[in-house]
Chain A
Amino acid sequence: MKRLIVFIKQVPDTAELRIDPKTNTMIRTGVPSIINPFDMYAIEEALRIKEKWGDTEVIVATMGPPQAEEALREALSLGCDKAILLTDRKFAASDTFATSYILSKAVEKIGDYNIILTGKQATDGDTAQVGPGIASWLNIPSITYVKKMIEVKSDYAKIERLMDYGYDIIEIKGKFLMTAIKDLNEPRIPSFRGKMAAKKAEIPNWDAAYIGAEDKNIGFLGSPTRVVKAFSPPPKQGGIKTEGDDIETAKKLIANLKESHLI
């Protein structure tokens, strides 16, 4: 049997984030959690590959607190076969170095696989470092920003990767990790049957000891980076506002831009 592993992250829904106008800080309470939008494309692609290949298991996994189980159930409802929750107090405060280590240890515990998929980046941290980081720990190739799968077999793939100048066409032999962007596909919505199955599914919790993660590489102490401070940027405020679409309005805008040396 072939196997695909999808790593997802539960993130706050940015659409629901509000800034407290008095304190200029982010209001996080009451903000619903969702699957990181980029990870939805990774899940969808895994399901499509499974449909193409047949005889394939899609395992979805995440690292997080117990409530991250919700995100896994949503992934199961879309059609993933199994879910794993990596959860342990020792994992808390892991930076991208420690997180990619923990996820790579989970891969080793899972065993054999063909492709690891994940989103380009998470919309809370925005680092885009964990995907390539996992590949680095596992010593496998990583292809970032995947926009199209031209061909995908169990031990060979031909892929398009988005770059700033256009895109690259890449061939890969053997197992690899890829990070998905929005161009890749259009995620499906869960079926009723999927939802029912997801509700009942058993989701195993794996801790540090179970995956053999060494203390020196996990959590706060295993993370090379330290947050010195976090702050909200100064609030952006509206400036000039005019009404109308006549020639005078257009002239005023052009004059304003010229005065400000913007054009």
Chain B
Amino acid sequence: MDKRNIIVVGEVNNGNIHHVTYELTSKAAELGERINGYVEVLLLGYSINKEHIKRLFETGADKAIIIDNEKLGLLNDDYFVANIRKVLERENPYIVLTGATPQGRAIIPKLAIKLHAGLTADCTDLDIEAETDLLLQTRPAFGGNLMATIKTPEHTPQMSTVRPKVFKINENYNKKENIENIEFEETNSLIRIIEMIKSEEDNVNLADADIVVSGGRGVGNKENFSIIYDFAKKINGVVGASRAAIDAGWIPYPHQVGQTGQTVSPKLYFAIGISGAIQHQVGMKSSDYIVAINKDTNAPIFNIADYGIVGDLFEIVPKLIKLLD
């Protein structure tokens, strides 16, 4: 049987390879063992870190295909779609995996149409169907209230975007370095990325966080939110918030966890002064461990919390901060 190409379309930010790229490379290598796969990682970016490229071979890549150009330093969707498409058409992959990041979710749906491929969004599990060798893609819908397993029987590539932090990186592959550099191909584009603005705060990347500390209505006002920030800093967490806190203007929208905000699944989630309406729950229910602190013993958040404290957050949180000193 010929080798089946599995292509991971990687992500590069500021020359650094995003961790989801390694996660998918390791998963691709694992799936590849069952279907005679050949794992290629396609990277588009500018001034891509050489050490980061080397690590691809430790984490499962058979080959890296690199397009390194100044014009790929910012995310011009048109440049990315055209250049990725060219490589995918040449390599004719069986499976294509990409991170379900804002970047992946912007460009991969456009590629799937151009390639007439099946695409499954935001997968949280991947497997191979034994009888058919098809990719089984499991994803949440209705904010995680329903899971669906999806396959693409008659079209290749079988494409998935996968949530970051779902799969573990395996550093033990030690494959031989094999790099192909490809020239960037200029394409017409009617868009221009003028500037990439880093968030004024150090970290609002909730999707990547291991620990999220969220505050809600119970925090009371904007000034009081400093207690959430202090605790998050102490415990190395990222600050989140419920919709009530966002709508009240206590904290900006990129922090919102829930249906109209972000979906997070950290190892540890703190819901502080958050009652836990279903719209909030769908954004954080899949966290590994949930701690809830709320005055109201009937708050629905306690139904899903692994550890609940019925008490005054203004009493308990400062004590937690002190104990972590």
List residues of A whose CB falls within 8 A of some B CB.
12, 14-15, 17, 19, 26, 37-38, 95-97, 100-101, 123-133, 135-137, 141-145, 147, 158, 162-174, 176, 181-183, 223-233, 236-247, 249-251, 253-254, 256-257, 260, 262-263
Jot down 26 A-B pairs with beta carbons below 8 A, ordered by A: A14-B278, A15-B277, A126-B121, A126-B122, A127-B121, A144-B106, A158-B194, A168-B197, A172-B192, A224-B155, A225-B150, A227-B148, A228-B136, A228-B149, A230-B146, A230-B149, A232-B145, A236-B285, A237-B304, A241-B302, A253-B291, A253-B320, A254-B324, A257-B289, A260-B289, A263-B211
Residues of A within 8 A of B278 (CB): 14-15, 17
Contact of B147 among A142, A182, A233, A257 (CB under 8 A): A233
As a 0/1 sequence over residues 8 to 21 of chain B, the CB contacts with chain A under 8 angstroms (1 = contact) are 00000100000000
Q: Are B282 and A226 in contact, CB atoms less than 8 angstroms apart?
A: no
CB distance from B288 to the nearest CB of A (A): 8
Q: Are A226 and B147 in contact, CB atoms less than 8 angstroms apart?
A: no
Give the distance in Å from the alpha carbon of A229 to the alpha carbon of B81 in the complex.
31
Task: Pick the most buried of A129, A173, A249: most chain B CB atoms within 10 A of its CB.
Answer: A129
Classify chain B: how many residues form its interface, as a range. 35 or more
Contact of B118 among A97, A162, A242 (CB under 8 A): A97
Q: Are A233 and B144 in contact, CB atoms less than 8 angstroms apart?
A: yes
Q: Are A100 and B315 in contact, CB atoms less than 8 angstroms apart?
A: no
Residues of A within 8 A of B110 (CB): 132-133, 135-136, 142
Known: A129-B112, A238-B304. A168 touches B316 (CB 8 A): no
Which applies to chain B's interface (DSSP): helix, strand, loop or mixed?
Answer: mixed
Determine if B120 is an interface residue (Cβ-Cβ < 8 Å): yes
Which applies to chain A's interface (DSSP): helix, strand, loop or mixed?
Answer: mixed
Contact of A170 among B191, B261, B268 (CB under 8 A): B191
Task: Pick the most buried of B117, B147, B256, B297: most chain A CB atoms within 10 A of its CB.
Answer: B147
Q: Are B261 and A240 in contact, CB atoms less than 8 angstroms apart?
A: no
Contact of A237 among B105, B116, B145, B303 (CB under 8 A): B303
With CB as the reference atom, state the residue of chain A lying closest to B148. Answer: A230
List residues of B whose CB falls within 8 A of some A CB.
13, 74-75, 77-78, 81, 101-103, 105-107, 109-114, 116-122, 129, 136, 140-155, 189-199, 205, 207-208, 211, 235, 246, 253-254, 256, 259-261, 263, 267-268, 277-279, 282, 285-286, 288-289, 291, 297, 302-312, 315-316, 319-320, 323-324
Contact of A127 among B114, B122, B277 (CB under 8 A): B122
Residues of A within 8 A of B312 (CB): 245
Residues of B within 8 A of A228 (CB): 129, 136, 149-151
Contact of B303 among A144, A165, A167, A238 (CB under 8 A): A238
Q: Are B147 and A230 in contact, CB atoms less than 8 angstroms apart?
A: yes
Task: Pick the most buried of B254, B263, B268: most chain A CB atoms within 10 A of its CB.
Answer: B254
With CB as the reference atom, state the residue of chain B lying closest to A232. Answer: B146
Residues of B within 8 A of A260 (CB): 289
With CB as the reference atom, state the residue of chain B lying closest to A138. Answer: B113
Give the distance in Å from the alpha carbon of A17 to the alpha carbon of B279 in the complex.
10
Residues of A within 8 A of B286 (CB): 233
Give the distance in Å from the alpha carbon of A66 to the alpha carbon of B304 in the complex.
38
Contact of B191 among A141, A183, A238 (CB under 8 A): A141
Residues of A within 8 A of B194 (CB): 158, 169-171
Q: Are B307 and A253 in contact, CB atoms less than 8 angstroms apart?
A: yes
Q: Are B315 and A168 in contact, CB atoms less than 8 angstroms apart?
A: no
Give the distance in Å from the alpha carbon of A128 to the alpha carbon of B315 in the complex.
41
Give the distance in Å from the alpha carbon of A95 to the alpha carbon of B81 in the complex.
21
Give the distance in Å from the alpha carbon of A257 to the alpha carbon of B211 in the complex.
12
Q: Are B144 and A183 in contact, CB atoms less than 8 angstroms apart?
A: no
Known: A128-B109, A165-B196, A253-B307. A14 touches B259 (CB 8 A): yes
CB distance from A222 to the nearest CB of B (A): 10
Give the distance in Å from the alpha carbon of A17 to the alpha carbon of B324 in the complex.
39
Give the distance in Å from the alpha carbon of A199 to the alpha carbon of B304 in the complex.
42
> Can you name 20 extra interface pairs (CB under 8 A) apart from A143-B191, A253-B320?
A15-B277, A136-B111, A136-B114, A141-B190, A143-B77, A166-B198, A170-B191, A171-B192, A224-B155, A226-B151, A227-B149, A231-B146, A239-B305, A239-B306, A241-B310, A242-B310, A253-B291, A262-B211, A262-B267, A262-B268
Q: Are B309 and A262 in contact, CB atoms less than 8 angstroms apart?
A: no
CB distance from A232 to the nearest CB of B (A): 6
Q: Are B308 and A126 in contact, CB atoms less than 8 angstroms apart?
A: no
Give the distance in Å from the alpha carbon of A190 to the alpha carbon of B69 in the complex.
49
Contact of A262 among B77, B116, B205, B289 (CB under 8 A): B289
Give the distance in Å from the alpha carbon of A184 to the alpha carbon of B262 in the complex.
15
Residues of B within 8 A of A141 (CB): 77-78, 189-191
With CB as the reference atom, state the residue of chain B lying closest to A19. Answer: B145
Q: Are B141 and A132 in contact, CB atoms less than 8 angstroms apart?
A: no
Q: Are A243 and B112 in contact, CB atoms less than 8 angstroms apart?
A: no
Give the distance in Å from the alpha carbon of A262 to the alpha carbon of B109 in the complex.
36
Q: Are B152 and A224 in contact, CB atoms less than 8 angstroms apart?
A: yes
CB distance from A157 to the nearest CB of B (A): 10
Q: Which 10 A-B pairs have the closest CB atoms?
A: A224-B118, A245-B311, A245-B315, A136-B113, A250-B319, A127-B121, A136-B110, A132-B109, A166-B199, A129-B109
Contact of A239 among B113, B268, B307 (CB under 8 A): B307
Give the distance in Å from the alpha carbon of A236 to the alpha carbon of B143 in the complex.
14
Task: Pick the most buried of A100, A124, A136, A243: most chain B CB atoms within 10 A of its CB.
Answer: A136
Task: Pick the most buried of B102, B121, B193, B285: most chain A CB atoms within 10 A of its CB.
Answer: B102
Residues of A within 8 A of B195 (CB): 168-169
